[in-house]
């Protein structure tokens, strides 16, 4: 079934069938008077017919847009199809003959409508290719700035605490030294006072002894030997009272420090005088040309891939390279490999883990789980579906999780990010099933649900990928078939395996355009060419393969195979 015009984005290549009855060839031309899409053969017949030989037939992209049919209110049998250039009023042909429009010039309304439609589509294209991506880039830059500012402020606060801690330590040390000095002073003064106290205690004892001695003289009856009679003057010489110094206590001069002085000691936070720079907004010409044309780096990568493709071929035998264990999962259901040797793996419990290709865990998040429900974009972001909440999320390089696309009442099952045009392919179900294509901004641009005969293409698209020619490849777990469509949604072929119990699971493609699909039932990985021709069973049970569930090819053209309910990844070399 051809796409309707409303489903085709303005910057996409249009694909329509010829509008002539019973002709299903590709539309390349358009008859403007008849508003009829035509293939080349029907165009030739149309121009040779005496009735239509003077019709304007143009390439499809140069067609005139058919204006909506609006009847004239004054002449109900006539359509409004011209514009009065003087009055700027839409008219029918009969209105143009009225005296009020005598001498005025008129323009075909269809021509104006076509011009305005093209201009409108150009504006939509500008929004989609420049304004929206640029605004989202700036928004991403703001989030990165917010992360950076938080890190800077945390660093400043940490420095403040360290500075205060250092100053407090110095204050404690100085205070301790001062107290120790005061203790020494106190001890010295105390010893001096104790010495003075002893001096006076000794003097008091002397006086008490002298008093007793005098009392003894006074009470004596022996005059002949009483010293008071013979040497009184000598005994009356009392030693003078000892002199002592009054202690001088130390004085404490309190520090005269204000809060301002302490702030100077601890430092200040200031805003630089430098003027804040405006965020750089790339010019539209640069952005649009970048969107439409491959960069030098991209061209180089494309050439390198092309060179590799030309030199690679199937090996005569498959070689096991290594095994590694994926931590943090109960049993791997699906794998995706991004740039720089980073693998994402998920299990049936919703654990989504990032590892390197040696099995070292780098990141882990909890999701609602699924089968082919995650993919890595060319930019390195991870996109995963949340089938329970009907959304598709994006994990950016700074590990921010963003709600990217809402899928309405459709439950998103599988997802793949195109490395050709950055489109997002999503297999989804809601009683019936379909594949929806979104552009890199999340805008829905294509829905694929029916074949050319009106039959449903899918029942449950569990895994999805894209081939090098743009073919959309899905494995359907209910129909038990691999369905392959071209990039326009036209059915190319279906593959139902080599046994009567074919049960397809994970699938991927390589630089040669091969399709590799896991047959869960027969324990094989089947290899097809890009036209659906079966080439071989690349891996089998005889090679130790049991219940293969997911496959992907890395940048070195190695095949990574995951077996159901294990977290062991096996890597094979099958191209040479």
Q: Is pLDDT of 280 > 50?
A: yes
Contact between 523 and 545 under an 8 Å Cβ cutoff? The reply is: yes
- The pLDDT value recorded for residue 10 is 43
How many helices and strands, by DSSP H and E, does the chain display?
Answer: 8, 30
Q: Is residue 541 part of a domain?
A: yes
Q: What is the pLDDT of residue 314?
A: 81
Final residue before a domain boundary, out of 60, 90, 112: 112
Q: Is residue 308 part of a domain?
A: no
Looking at the fold, whether 105 and 123 belong to one and the same domain comes out as no
Choice between 62 and 457, residue whose per-residue pLDDT is larger: 457
CA distance 346 to 332: 5
pLDDT for res 471: 94
Q: How far apart are the first and last CA of the chain?
A: 40
Q: Does residue 212 lie within any of the structural domains?
A: yes
pLDDT-derived band at 1 (thresholds 50, 70, 90) equals very low
Regarding whether 91 and 32 lie in a shared domain, the answer is: yes
Do β-strands 524-528 and 534-539 pair in parallel, antiparallel, or remain unpaired?
antiparallel
Give 389-410 pLDDT, tens digit per residue: 899 999 888 888 889 999 998 9
Predicted confidence (pLDDT) per residue in 369-381, tens digit:
888 899 999 888 8
Using the 3D structure, point to which of 197, 231, 266 is the last residue of a domain: 266
Token representation of residue 390: 């009907």
Report whether pLDDT(7) > 50.
no
My answer on whether 360 and 484 are in the same domain is yes
Among the residue ranges 50-59, 60-69, 225-234, 252-261, the one predicted with the least confidence is 225-234
| Contact of 413 with 429, CB cutoff 8 Å | yes
Q: Provide the pairing of β-strand 342-347 with 332-337.
A: antiparallel
Q: What is the pLDDT of residue 12?
A: 41
Rounded distance, CA 330 to CA 306, Å? 39
Boundary (domain end) residue, out of 67, 91, 112? 112
State yes or no: pLDDT of 8 exceeds 80: no
Kindly state whether residues 331 and 457 are assigned to the same domain: yes
Residue 177 in domain? yes
pLDDT of residue 405: 93
Question: 477 with 366, same domain?
Answer: yes
Counting the structural domains of the chain, the total is 3
pLDDT per position as a tens digit, 91-141: 998 999 999 999 999 988 888 888 888 788 788 888 888 888 888 888 888
Q: What is the pLDDT of residues 27-79, one digit of tens each?
A: 888 898 888 898 888 988 898 889 998 898 888 877 887 888 899 999 999 98
Average pLDDT of span 461-482: 93
Containing structural domain, residue 166: 113-248+257-266
pLDDT at residue 13 is higher than 80: no
Of residues 6 and 317, which shows the higher confidence score? 317
Q: Is residue 101 part of a domain?
A: yes
Closest alpha carbon to 378 in 156, 122, 555, 130: 555
Which pLDDT score is estimated for 232? 62
Tokens of 131: 């304004």
Question: For 522-547, what is the mean pLDDT?
Answer: 91
Do 70 and 165 lie in a common domain? Answer: no
pLDDT at 257: 78
Report if residue 186 sits inside a domain. yes
In this structure, the answer to whether residues 388 and 505 fall within a common structural domain is: yes
Asked if pLDDT for residue 445 goes beyond 60, the answer is yes
61 and 92 share one domain: yes
| One domain, residues 221 and 235 | yes
Q: Is the pLDDT of residue 3 over 50?
A: no
Strongest mean pLDDT among 217-221, 254-258, 335-339, 545-549 = 545-549
Against a cut of 0.85, is the pTM above it? no
Give the pLDDT confidence score for residue 183 in this predicted structure: 93
Residue 294 lies in a domain: no
| Predicted pLDDT of residue 306 | 52
Residue 304 lies in a domain: no
Residue by residue, DSSP assigns 346-387 as: EETTSEEEEEETT--EEEEEE----SS-EEE-TTS-EEEEET
Q: Are residues 359 and 495 in the same domain?
A: yes
User: Which has more pLDDT, 289 or 525?
Assistant: 525
pLDDT score at 14: 41
Residues 99 and 145 in one domain: no
Please report the pLDDT score of residue 309 as a whole number.
Answer: 53
Tokens (6 digits) for 80: 């409004």
The arithmetic mean of pLDDT across residues 87-94, rounded, is 91
Residue 270 scores a pLDDT above 80: no
Sequence-distant (≥ 6) Cβ neighbours of residue 321 within 8 angstroms = 558, 571, 572, 573
- Same structural domain, 528 and 402: yes
What pLDDT is stored for residue 289 in this prediction? 39
Query: Could you tell me the CATH number of the domain that includes residue 430?
Result: 2.130.10.10
Task: Using the CB atoms, write b or e for 389-411: b if 16+ within 10 Å.
Answer: ebbbbbbbeeeeeeebbebeebb
pLDDT for position 293? 44
Q: What is the mean pLDDT of residues 501-528?
A: 92
Render pLDDT for 317-368 as a digit per residue (tens, 0 to 9).
Answer: 889 998 888 888 888 889 998 776 788 999 888 899 998 878 888 889 888 8
Encode pLDDT of 288-319 as tens digits.
434 444 444 444 555 555 555 555 678 778 89
How much of the chain, in percent, has pLDDT values that exceed 90? 30
Q: Report the CATH number at residue 11.
A: 3.30.160.60
410-443 confidence digits (pLDDT tens): 999 999 999 888 899 999 988 889 999 998 888 8
């Amino acid at each position: 079934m051809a796409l309707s015009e409303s489903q085709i984005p303005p910057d996409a290549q249009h694909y329509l069938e010829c509008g002539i009855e019973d002709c299903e060839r590709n539309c390349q031309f358009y008859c403007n008077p008849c508003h009829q899409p035509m293939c080349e053969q029907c165009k030739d017949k149309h121009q040779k017919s005496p009735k239509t030989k003077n019709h304007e037939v143009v390439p499809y992209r140069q067609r005139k847009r058919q204006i909506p049919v609006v009847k004239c209110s004054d002449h109900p049998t006539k359509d409004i199809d011209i514009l009065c250039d003087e009055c700027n009023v839409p008219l029918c042909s009969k209105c143009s003959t009225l005296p009020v429009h005598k001498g005025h010039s008129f323009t075909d309304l269809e021509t104006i409508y076509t011009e305005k439609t093209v201009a409108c589509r150009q504006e939509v294209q500008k929004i989609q290719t420049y304004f929206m991506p640029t605004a989202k880039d700036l928004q991403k830059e703001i989030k990165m700035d917010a992360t950076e500012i938080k890190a800077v402020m945390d660093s400043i606060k940490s420095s403040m605490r360290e500075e205060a801690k250092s100053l407090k330590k110095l204050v404690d040390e100085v205070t301790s030294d001062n107290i120790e000095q005061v203790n020494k002073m106190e001890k010295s003064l105390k010893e001096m006072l104790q010495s003075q106290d002893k001096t006076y205690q000794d003097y008091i004892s002397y006086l008490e002894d002298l008093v007793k001695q005098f009392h003894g003289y006074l009470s004596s009856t022996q005059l002949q030997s009483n010293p008071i009679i013979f040497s009184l003057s000598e005994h009356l010489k009392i030693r003078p009272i000892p002199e002592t110094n009054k202690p001088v206590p130390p004085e404490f001069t309190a520090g005269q420090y204000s809060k301002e002085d302490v702030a100077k000691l601890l430092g200040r936070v200031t805003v630089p005088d430098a003027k804040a720079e405006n965020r750089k907004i790339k010019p539209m010409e640069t952005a649009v040309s970048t969107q439409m044309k491959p960069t030098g780096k991209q061209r180089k990568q494309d050439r390198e891939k092309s060179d590799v493709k030309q030199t690679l071929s199937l090996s005569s035998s498959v070689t096991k390279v290594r095994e590694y264990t994926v931590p943090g999962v109960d049993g791997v259901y699906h794998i995706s490999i991004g740039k720089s040797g980073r693998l994402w793996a998920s299990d049936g419990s919703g654990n989504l883990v990032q590892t390197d290709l040696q099995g070292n865990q780098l990141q882990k998040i909890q999701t609602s789980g699924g089968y082919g429900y995650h993919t890595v974009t060319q930019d390195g972001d991870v996109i995963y579906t949340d089938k329970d909440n009907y959304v598709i999320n994006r994990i950016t390089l700074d590990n921010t999780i963003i709600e990217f696309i809402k899928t309405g009442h459709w439950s998103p099952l599988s997802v793949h990010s195109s490395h050709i045009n950055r489109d997002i392919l999503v297999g989804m179900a809601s009683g019936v099933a379909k594949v929806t294509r979104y552009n890199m901004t999340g805008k829905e641009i294509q829905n694929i649900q029916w074949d050319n005969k009106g039959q449903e293409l899918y029942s449950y698209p569990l895994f999805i990928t894209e081939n090098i020619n743009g073919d959309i490849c899905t494995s359907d777990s209910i129909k038990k078939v691999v369905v392959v469509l071209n990039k326009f949604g036209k059915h190319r072929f279906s593959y139902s395996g080599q046994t009567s119990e074919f049960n397809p699971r994970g699938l991927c493609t390589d630089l040669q355009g091969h399709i590799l699909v896991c047959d869960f039932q027969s324990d094989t990985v089947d290899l097809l060419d890009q036209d659906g021709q079966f080439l071989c069973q690349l891996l089998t049970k005889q090679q130790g393969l049991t219940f293969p569930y997911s496959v992907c090819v890395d940048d070195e053209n190695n095949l990574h195979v995951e077996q159901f309910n294990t977290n062991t990844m096996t890597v094979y070399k099958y191209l040479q």
